[in-house]
Amino acid sequence: MTRFYLTYALLFAVPFVLYVSYIYFSMGRSAIRESLTVKALGWLSVLGAGLTVVVIVVLTNFTGFASDGVYQPARFEDGRLLPGTIVEPDAPSPE
């Protein structure tokens, strides 16, 4: 679950990192504090939230398992724990 939240936190931070990098390399270190105004931080927050939402929508629509699959929960088989899987409805069951 930590990886889940860390991924979205990093996506949200991308506009901030890009903006500060641009300011640092174009105007120098002293200009960073002056360019981080409330208005700039507001726009960066909107861009970060938008980027996060776009990535969530793209990932949920174009990756993952089929929505009509059947979930097979984790189970013990021959003394080993097999993870849960999603099986296609027309595919034979792994049991």
- The CA-to-CA distance between both ends of the chain, in Å, stands at 29
Burial level of 74, CB count in 10 A (0-12/13-18/19+)? exposed
- Residue-level pLDDT at 66: 64
> pTM above 0.85?
no
| Beta bridge pairs of residue 85 | 72
Tokens for 37?
A: 């105004």
Under-70 pLDDT residues of the chain: 64-67, 91-95
Contact (Cβ atoms closer than 8 angstroms) between residue 20 and residue 13 = no
- Residue-level pLDDT at 16: 95
